[in-house]
Chains A and B, each alone.
Chain A
Amino acid sequence: MRKRLGFVFWVAVAYLVVLALAAVFADVLPIKDPAETFPGTSKQGPSLTHWFGNDGVGRDVFSRVIYGAQVSLVISTVGTVLALVIGGLLGMVSGYFSSRVDRWLTATLNASLVIPPLILFLALVLFLDGEAKRRIFILVFTFVLLSIAPIARVVRAATLSWAGQDFVLAARTLGARDGRVLFREILPNVAPSFVSYSLIIMAGLIVVEGSVAFLGLSVPPPTPTWGDMINKGRTNLDVAAHISLMPAIVMFVTVLALNFVGDKLQQYFEPRESVL
């Protein structure tokens, strides 16, 4: 059977690309100012001038969703990339060097999983006071902390299976050093599972960021975030549901698209491990 990614896959990819581009170029695109209040439009439903309607104080929901994407995407991308580098390295080292190193690393990583993520996050939030920059830093730091262990575990499993293969033995017989074997022989083989898994991790981080923002603990107010918009919209849920609904739909579609693309890529690269 020929491998196919399917039509829906490309739709999902296109959506993600468009969303990312919109977020990156939000400042130059012809959309409204997310902070501007349009008089007399408070709680107005979607219309031609305001595609997603207006929120409780008359701000344009569409442009706020786009600007909100900046926060979600930046934090989750930076978090995922850092976690990939650190977690990937740890996983490869742990899977390649056997016994003692492996045992210590695995034990430490397992131990790091015993504090439930959101609770750990709350404990860390106590460290931040107001300041937006520091808050973003702590957010990213926590997200990296949260995603290292799962990534390292996946990479370790993949490394273990590749390290036993004949070509690795061949490389070592030819006198290649550990570093070379790891980066030139094993990394290219492990990379696919890395990448597809990282998309799923990223989706998870968007959800965590959303939850944190929903609780009002993410980037502070003047900057729009999806979670905060959904939370603030709740007060008008009975009269103007779109204020919560629109960012919720965008967030749902984004997370769904990321999960879907990650799933499909995983199946594409490793058909056998596609069960979960």
Chain B
Amino acid sequence: MKQAVRDQLGRIVAVALLATIAWAWFWRPPFSWTFGVLVVIGTVGAGIADGRYALRRIAGVIPVLVGVSFVVFALMASLPGDPAINILGPAATADQIAIVRTELGLDEPFFNRYGNWLGGVLTGDLGTSIVLREDVADGISRSMTPTLQIMAYSVVIALGFAIPLGIWAGYRQGTKTDGTINNVMLGFLATPNFVLAVMLVLFLSIGGLSVAGNEIGFRVLPAARYVPLGEDVVLHFKHMLLPSLALAMGQAAVFMRLLRSDMIATLRLPFIDLARSKGLPTRRILWRHALRPSSFTLLTVVGLTVGLLIGGALIVEFIFTIPGVGAYIFLGVTQRDFIAVQGGVLVISTLYIVVLTMSDFLYLSLDPRLRGREVGARA
């Protein structure tokens, strides 16, 4: 097949994978369906995009997934204390405990339990939460929506800051502008997201510091609560702005630094001189000619930061009382609901692995120079 055709097809496959995952989270079909669709698209994509390499990558992902599920299960199974007593409370009689233990399958040998659980996971059954008395898969997919929204918004915001600033700082390398942008971004890099979140709440939503009776700050944005997108679009974005900003600025700094250094390297290449001698305006050279070849590393790193974003989302959800998946796991942890935690950790890790692998593929399809070489895209 011609390379140009392959490129297009590779892109379509990548989009299809993303769309499938989005579909799976928002419309919640049974896990087994999603799994099947992912496998089909993945295999087709592997065949088209870059045959052997992609197949090897996908084959490599499966043992990792199994390993992760095993580690998560083993961790939860080796928790001190009897889960049955946790459910029933300390006053439970031996008979009651025995009944609950059988119900949870706790009396079977370890590997049988693991097998049962894994079998359940593959068909979309993550068990029933101990505390909430609710299907864990349902709970997670319900709380996934706000989390994915925060993550998506914050990536958009981060890129919105990072791309113009990175281009500009790279173009003005070594000048005061560059220095200022760099220092400010280093500042954001060093601000833990919960500190930034508290500061944002302080200065943008509750009026800031009062010095001698004057407020230094604003009361423009709400500080807590989650409004679903379907309920009120404007309110939704108003409520999501602070949490997304708190999560975005650290990422913006990372992205901006990466883009800047790649821009500097690109701007030294001869084709930029050519573009300049043709008389193209600077703005056009920067945005049209230099940005694309400089953005490969950035794109992969965007994929990589999903893991960080999930951790950050947890904190942000805690501060802004948003019922996301981080909050779900956190609740599970504080109430020792190991079935919920187990499900949550598994789903998040799987999501992360899938995103990582896809960002590798995306990298290959974007940067033709790397084809045929092994790419450990995790720079």
- A and B pair up: yes
From known contacts A244-B198, A251-B195, infer whether A119 and B348 are also in contact, taking CB-CB under 8 Å.
Answer: yes
Residues B330 and A255 in contact, CB atoms below 8 Å apart:
no
Asked if residues B341 and A241 are in contact (CB atoms below 8 Å), the reply is no
- Indicate with 1 or 0, residue by residue over A103-132, a CB within 8 angstroms of chain B CB atoms: 000000011011111111011111101000
Q: Is the CB of A117 within 8 A of B307?
A: yes
- Chain A: which residue is nearest B338 at the CB level? A126
Q: Which residues of B have CB within 8 Å of A244?
A: 198, 202
Q: How many A-B residue pairs have CB under 8 A?
A: 132
* B12 contacts chain A at the CB level, 8 A cutoff: no
Q: Given contacts A203-B190, A230-B195, are A110 and B79 in contact (CB under 8 A)?
A: no
Q: Which 3 A-B pairs have the closest CB atoms?
A: A118-B311, A256-B190, A275-B261
User: Which one of B64, B261, B318, B348 contacts A116 once the chains associate, using CB atoms below 8 Å?
Assistant: B348
CA distance A275 to B263 in the complex (A): 11
Taking the closest CB of chain A, its distance from the CB of B259, in whole angstroms, is 11
Other 15 A-B pairs with CB < 8 A, given A116-B348, A119-B314, A215-B315: A113-B307, A114-B307, A115-B345, A117-B311, A118-B312, A119-B329, A119-B349, A127-B79, A127-B80, A210-B194, A211-B315, A215-B318, A237-B202, A241-B208, A259-B186
Contact with A along B9-39 (1 / 0, CB 8 A): 0000000000000000000000000000000
| B192 contacts A210, C-beta separation under 8 Å | yes
Chain B residues 277 to 323 lying within 8 A of chain A, measured CB to CB, are 307-308, 310-312, 314-315, 318-319
| Distance between Cα atoms of A210 and B192 in the complex (Å) | 8
CA distance A245 to B187 in the complex (A): 16
Bitwise, B183-212 to A at CB < 8 A (1) or not (0) is 000110111111100110110001111000
> Could you say which of B76, B261, B307 contacts A123, with CB atoms under 8 Å apart?
B76
Asked if A237 and B345 sit within 8 Å, CB to CB, the answer is no
Contacts of B330 in A (CB 8 A): 122, 215
Is A248's CB within 8 Å of the partner chain B?
A: yes
Complex alpha-carbon distance, A116 and B345, angstroms: 9
Tell me the smallest distance from the CB of A209 to a CB of chain B, in Å.
10
Binary interface encoding of chain A residues 18-34 relative to chain B, with 1 for a CB under 8 A from any of its CBs, else 0: 00000000000000000
- When chains A and B are docked, how far (Å) is the Cα of A227 from the Cα of B356? 31
Q: Looking at the assembled complex, report how far the CB atom of A6 sits from the nearest CB atom of chain B, in whole angstroms.
A: 12
**Does residue B237 face the partner (Cβ distance < 8 Å to A)?**
no
A-B contact pairs, 19 of them (CB 8 A): A110-B378, A113-B378, A114-B349, A115-B71, A115-B352, A119-B348, A122-B314, A122-B341, A124-B75, A127-B80, A210-B192, A210-B195, A215-B314, A215-B315, A217-B333, A230-B195, A231-B194, A234-B198, A276-B261
B residues within 8 A CB of A211? 192-194, 311, 315
- Identify the interface centre among B75, B311, B319: most chain A CB within 10 Å of its CB: B311
Given contacts A114-B349, A123-B72, A215-B330, contact A241 B192 (CB under 8 A): no
Contact A123 B194, beta carbon cutoff 8 Å: no
- 1/0 per position for A244-264, CB-CB distance to B under 8 A? 110010011001100110010
Q: Is there a chain A Cβ closer than 8 Å to B353's Cβ?
A: yes
**Chain A residues with Cβ under 8 A from B187's Cβ?**
256
In the bound complex, what is the Cα–Cα distance between A120 and B353 (angstroms)?
14
CB of B258 within 8 Å of the partner chain: yes
Let me know if B345 and A238 touch, CB within 8 A.
no
B173 to chain A, nearest CB (A): 11
Counting chain B CB atoms within 10 Å of each CB, which of A126, A234, A251, A256 scores highest?
A126
CB A154 to nearest CB in B, in angstroms, measures 11
B120 at the interface (CB under 8 A from A): no
Which parts of B341-365 form the interface with A (CB within 8 Å)? 341, 344-345, 348-349, 352-353, 356
Given the interface contacts A110-B378, A252-B195, does A122 sit within 8 Å of B329 by beta carbon? Answer: yes
B105 at the interface (CB under 8 A from A): no
- Contact A118:B314 (CB < 8 A) given known A210-B194, A227-B194, A256-B190: yes
Interfacial chain B residues near A168, Cβ < 8 Å? none
